[in-house]
Every structure is written in C-alpha cells, then in structure tokens.
C-alpha cells in the first residue's frame, strides 16, 4: 500500500520505518525538502534526517503535498502546533476521501515543561483537522503512547495495554484498527466514539506527561480495566 | 479519628459510610441541614439523605463549617462546580493546618453530557482550592474512579490498578496514601507530584467519561504499565 507520512521527526521516522519494513511504499512529507535534507540537527527522539534516509533508502522524501498525494492512506505525524499548517500545505485535494491517521498532540511548549495543550476540553486538534478537511476520514489514534510503543506495543507489559481510535467514519476506524492489530501488533483497540472523543485521548497527555516524569520513562501507558 | 466529609451526595455518602465502618467519628457537612434532611430526592448514585442517615446513625450531619471544624481531616466530596463555595462556607479557620482530601471533579453539565471541565489545562480545581485556602494541605486523589471503587478497589481487576495523589505537602500525601492503602485497600498509589499535577487526573475525566459510555459501566479505570 502507498503510505504518506507527514512529518520527519521521531514519530514520522518511526512510523515510516515500520510501514516500509512491512513492504509498503512510503513517502515522508516535509515543508521544504532541500532544507530538511540539509538539516544537521534532529528533534527529540529523531535521527538527523539525511542519516536516517541513508539508512532507510526505500523511504522517499517529498513535500507535504507530494507525500499526501502519494499515500492511499496518510498519517499526520507533525508536531501538533504545526499540524493544521502542514495539512494545508498537503492540500485538501490530496486528502479527500482518504483515511487520515492523526497521531499528533497539541502540545504547547512555549511556557516550558510540562507543556499545556493549545486546544482542549470543548474542542480538540483532531476535530480542528476534521473540520478543516471535511473530505478526509480522520481517525485519531496512537497519540497516547511513546513512538516506540506505537509500533511495538509488546515492548511494555507484553502488549497487555490499550490504544484508542476516535473518528466519525466507521469504515475508516475499522481500517485503522486492522492496521494497528495486523501491522503494529496491538491486541486491544478501544473505539471511543466519534471524533469528539479525541478530546479524551489528547487530554490524557496531561496525566501522561506527569507519569513519564515521576516514572522517568516515556514508555508508561495505560491498560483499561473494569 | 474525627473526619469531616463535605457533601452529602453519592460520593459523600460512600466515603462517610466507609470511614464510619472503620470506627471513625464522621460528620457530613451540607449547606442547609434542615433543607438537606427534608429533601425527598437524591442525586446520581445517592440515597435520599434522611433514609441514608437512618441507616447510618453513627454519622452526624452538620453545616459545612461544623463538619470542617469536626474533622481532624476533611474531605471535599462536593460537586466540583460548587466546591469553592462550599469550602468558603466551611471556613478557612476550620481548614487551616488540616489535610484536605479533594476527590471532586470540575464537571460542567450545563452543555449536556458528556460534561466539559470548568477549569483545566493551565489550572485545576485542586489548585484553585489550594490557592483559596493556603493553610490547608490539599491532596487530590480518588477523583479518577467511581465512588464504589474509591473505597473498594478490589471490585475491579482484583484491585490491580492505580490511584494517584497530587499535593504540595509531602507529609499530607504520605498520610493520605496510608489512608488509601490501610483503610480503603488500595495497593498501588502513584505520587504524581505537586498540586499542579492534579490537572492530569482531572483532565483524565474526558477519557474516563467516554470509556464509561462505550463500556457501559462507571467501573472502568486505568492501570499504569511501563
């Protein structure tokens, strides 16, 4: 399958590598391809992009628009505060009718750590994206876990924990659930409801950030029990 | 120990009954004692107060101020939107120097269900309470679980799940942790940090409400894994 991954940071690299390892035809999207290739530094959890691309030669690099156009499914792995801009550059015409997997969080680091959310409570980034791109089938998922856990749920507690999907399109949620289970190895995927339920998983970040601080690991996550 | 429980709803009743069953000297506090005794209806999860008091004769009923004055420790079990008002009626002089266990959530039902939060993200109800009553040792806890689970953690998954404490006073958190473990039976109590970490547990309600809807039970809660 052709997959477009928007964002070349740690999350984008992790997801792109996983998709490629499964034999999918992956293009990562960035704002400025030349500038991205020339960048000598990498963000948190990421590898310098030119080095990463050398190690992952099967992954293509293009603009946001080229990557979105390339993908039969598209993943938003950009930083949450930049996601709406990145998706505008990707272009509504390249997202129409497609499943758009949104793994971002609207983390605002401007006031330091831990970050606050730039949107929450009565709205969410996922809803903002769905409203801005009504033709896309937005499915919020994986934003509650560290990037390594996204594609390797068994790294923690033998995989005995949960991930969530939120979205308005039932078919899209079923497709993403299949990807999570069959491609990434998730055992337990909870359908939280429509896209407004993404408020719950985005707001979980406030707890998740504290847990990662007191437990001194970004691998902490939650299992739902009842 | 003398315990003051502010609030006579389902949460207040559950906690007061548990404290009393352990032999503690409990007074529940309400705004207007006569009106509360005369009320013919009960809120969600509660018993009509006069009937409840008849079944729990060892629990006293007083004003917010009387209950706060009575307690060596005080529990805020009022509805979150009414908590600051209730605590003002309780009186700073009756809270000074005491551990104030805050189990409330700032749920705003004015726009329907699921409720939004009346404060979140860069502040929390627990912080508002601590700022308004600087002499009290506020410890936020138990607000992430259903009232039955608060005092009966083994009702779900054999008790193999987590509750959290947030607060600025280490001694108060240690005392509350001991109460949670020795009195209520909690096995795993995570100290999230200072009172600002209550943002995390209050914001968890956005996810918790959705989980309770899709799982059709208020008993759903979380276990932290790493």
Q: Which one of A158, A160, A190, A203 would you mutate to disrupt binding with B, by most B Cβ within 10 Å of its Cβ?
A: A203
Among all residues of chain B, which has the CA nearest to that of A161?
B225
| A contacts of B191 (beta carbons < 8 Å) | 214
**Phi and psi (nearest 5°) for A123?**
-160, 170
Alpha-carbon distances of A48 from A33, A36, A45, A52, B188, rounded to whole Å: 14, 9, 10, 6, 40
On the question of a cis peptide bond just before residue A44, with omega within 30 degrees of 0, the verdict is no
Distance to chain A for B114, nearest Cα, Å = 10
Burial call A121-142: b when 16+ CB within 10 Å, e when fewer: bebbbbbbbbeebeebbbbbbb
Q: Report d(CA B102, CA A226) in Å as an integer.
A: 24
Distance to chain B for A199, nearest Cα, Å = 7
pLDDT at A19: 98
Burial call B14-39: b when 16+ CB within 10 Å, e when fewer: bbbbbbbeeebbbbbbbbebeebeee
Give one word for A170, left, alpha or beta, with left for phi > 0 and alpha for psi -120 to 50: alpha
pLDDT band at A40 (very low <50, low <70, confident <90, very high): very high
Pick from A116, A190, A219: CB nearest B226: A219
Strand (E) or helix (H) holding B212:
helix B198-214
pLDDT band at B119 (very low <50, low <70, confident <90, very high): very high
pLDDT at B86: 98
Q: What is the mean pLDDT of residues B88-109?
A: 98
**Phi and psi (nearest 5°) for B19?**
-60, -45
What are A's interface residues with B at a Cβ cutoff of 8 A? 111, 116-117, 120-122, 156-157, 160-161, 164, 190-193, 197, 199-201, 203-204, 206-211, 213-215, 217, 219-226
Q: Report d(CA B7, CA B67) in Å as an integer.
A: 10
Instruction: Calculate what percentage of chain B has a pLDDT beyond 90.
Output: 99
Q: Report d(CA A217, CA A219) in Å as an integer.
A: 5
Q: What is the mean pLDDT of residues B170-189?
A: 98
Q: What is the DSSP letter of B156?
A: T
pLDDT at A78: 98
Calculate the average pLDDT of chain B.
Answer: 98
pLDDT at A205: 98
Cβ–Cβ of A160/B121 closer than 8 Å?
A: no
Task: Using CA atoms of B51, B56, B60, B62 in order, give the dihedral in degrees to the nearest 10.
Answer: -30
DSSP assignment string, B37-83: HH-----TT---HHHHHHH-TTSEEEEHHHHHHH-SEEEE-S-HHHH
Distance to chain A for B2, nearest Cα, Å = 32
Q: Report d(CA A80, CA A102) in Å as an integer.
A: 10
pLDDT at A115: 98
What are B's interface residues with A at a Cβ cutoff of 8 A? 111, 116-117, 120-122, 156-157, 160-161, 164, 190-193, 197, 199-201, 203-204, 206-211, 213-215, 217, 219-226
Strand partners, B190: B164
Among all residues of chain A, which has the CA nearest to that of B120?
A121
pLDDT in tens, A104-149: 999 999 999 999 999 999 999 999 999 999 999 999 999 999 999 9
Give yes or no for residue A44 having a pLDDT over 90.
Answer: no
Q: Report d(CA B79, CA B91) in Å as an integer.
A: 17
Angle formed at CA A132 by CA A129 and CA A133, multiple of 5 degrees: 85
pLDDT at B44: 85
């Amino acid at each position: 399958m052709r997959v477009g991954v928007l964002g070349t940071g740690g999350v984008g690299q992790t997801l792109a590598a996983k998709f490629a390892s499964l034999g999918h035809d992956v293009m990562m999207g960035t704002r400025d391809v030349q500038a991205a290739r020339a960048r000598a530094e990498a963000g948190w959890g990421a590898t310098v992009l030119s080095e990463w691309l050398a190690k992952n030669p099967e992954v293509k690099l293009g603009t946001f628009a080229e990557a979105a156009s390339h993908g039969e499914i598209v993943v938003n792995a950009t930083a949450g505060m930049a996601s709406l801009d990145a998706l505008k550059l990707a272009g509504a015409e390249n997202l129409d009718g497609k499943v758009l997997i949104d793994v971002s969080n609207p983390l605002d680091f401007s006031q330091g750590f831990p970050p606050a959310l730039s949107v929450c409570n009565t709205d969410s980034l996922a809803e903002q994206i769905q409203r801005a791109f009504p033709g896309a089938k937005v499915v919020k998922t994986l934003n509650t876990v560290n990037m390594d856990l996204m594609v390797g749920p068994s790294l923690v507690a033998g995989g005995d924990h949960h991930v969530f999907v939120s979205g308005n399109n039932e078919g899209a949620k079923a497709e993403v659930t299949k990807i999570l289970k069959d491609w990434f190895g998730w055992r337990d995927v909870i359908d939280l409801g429509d896209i407004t339920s993404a408020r719950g998983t985005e707001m979980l970040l406030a707890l998740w950030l504290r847990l990662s601080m007191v437990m001194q690991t970004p691998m902490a996550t939650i299992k739902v029990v009842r």
